[in-house]
Amino acid sequence: MKKLFIFNLLFVLISFYLQGQDFVKVTKSNATQLVNLTTNQVLEIKLPCNPSTGYGWYVADDKTPNVVTQFGDWEFVPYINNVIDGQPGDQIIRFVGVSQGTFSLILEYKRPWEKTKAASDNFTITIVSSGKYIGNYTPPVKTQSSQKTTSSTPKSYPSSFSWQSVCTSIKDQGQCGSCWAFAACGIFEANINIIDGVTRDLSEQWLINCDYPSNNGCQGGSFPSVGSLFQNSGAVYESDLPYADGSCSTNYGSSAACIGTCGTYSHHEQISSYNSICTNPDPAAIKQAIYDYGPVYVSIASGNNFQNYNGGVFTTTDGTSLNHAVVLVGWDDNNGYWILRNSWGAGWGENGYMRIAYGVSAVGSNAYKINYGGGITNCGTTLSSSNTSGNYLDKCTIYLEPNFSTPVGGTFHAKVIP
C-alpha cells in the first residue's frame, strides 16, 4: 500500500511538472517582451476581450507568422458566468513552433470584417522558436449543443417563415457589451411594426443607463429585467436618449460608465407581458413563439467563427459557452436554419443577418418572447390566385409586405386590421 501511494504521488508530481513545462503563458503585461519557445512547448496568450461586440484578437494581416502558427481556435473565458450576455472576459490564443527562428508576433484587437478600419488595440511579443512543435498537446474541440426536435406545443406553423422584412434597420452596438439591450429593443421594435404598422426606434441607451443593478450596462445583461421595464414603464425613444457607445465603453466593453445614470424620460409603448420560451434550445417552441409573437430574444456562443461569418448557412460551431444576445426572426426547415439578426452593423454577415444551422453554437438558448397588443393573428400560410392583393381571408386582412412577390402557394404572414 505504501509503495502504491509513493508511486501515485510521483505520477502526480511528474504530470504536474510536465504540464508546467508544456505551456509558456503570457498576458497583456508581457507586451514587447521576448519569449523562448521550445519544440515541446505551447505559447498561450491570454488577453482581455469582449466577443459579443464582434471584436477579437487576430494576427495582423501583414504579419503572418513564419516561425509559429496558431494552434486551434481561440477560446473565451467570461469573467463571471455564461448566463450574462455581453460580458467581458479573457481570450486565449495558442501558438506552436513550425520552424527555427525569431519572429515578432503582432496581434490586433479588431472586427475581422472591417478590413479598412484601424485596430483599437494591439499586442506584440518577440518569439524565439527552437523549431517545429513535437509535443502531444491537443487543442480543445468546440462541441455542438444537442437540441430537442419535438415540443409539447402542437405544430401550427409553416415549414419556412420570416419577419425580417418588418424589422427595423440593423444597428451597431460598437465596443459596448450591450447586445442584450439591442436584442431586446429589436424584438419590441418588430412587434410595434407588425401590430401597429409604424416604425419606432427605441433607445438601447435607456436600458444601459436605467436597468441597473439588474443588468450591468456595457458589461453585459439578460432579458428578464428588461421585460419588466418594457411592461411597467414603457419604451423610451432613441430621439429622447441617443446611443452613446463611445462614452460608455472601453476597448473591451468593461467600463462601468453610464450605468446607474438614469434620468427622467418620456415613456411610450408598453408590452402586456413577457415569457421565457426555453432555457435550452427547443426549436419547435421557438418557431411557435416567433409565429405567434414575432421575433424572439435568444443567447448564443460567439467566437472567431461567428465573427468571421460573411454569408451562406453557418455550420461551424463556437461551442456552447453563451456570451452574446441576438434576435431570431424566422426559420427554414427545408434547409435547416434560423434567420438571425445581429447588432454589429450591416457590414457583417448578410447585411447584418445570418442563416445559422439548427444546433450550431447553442443558438436558441435562454429564449424570450414578448406579448404586445395581444399577440399576432396569423390567418393562413398559403396564397391562392384570388387573394393576393389585400382580399379578406378567414376574416383577416392580408398584411402584404412592400414589393410583395410571394408566388401562389408561397408562405405569407397576416395580422388583424381593426
Q: How far is CA 378 from the centre of its chain?
A: 29
User: Which of 342, 366, 371, 378 is an active site residue?
Assistant: 342
Strand 414-415 vs strand 392-393: parallel, antiparallel, or unpaired? unpaired
Pairwise CA distance, residues 68 & 91, whole Å: 19
User: Which of 167, 179, 210, 218 is an active site residue?
Assistant: 179
| Grid cell in block for residue 316 | 461551424
Pairwise CA distance, residues 50 & 33, whole Å: 24
179 as an active site residue: the answer is yes
User: Which of 82, 193, 209, 324 is an active site residue?
Assistant: 324
Backbone angles phi, psi at 276, to 5 degrees: -75, 135
351 as an active site residue: the answer is no
Please give the positions annotated as active site. Answer: 179, 324, 342
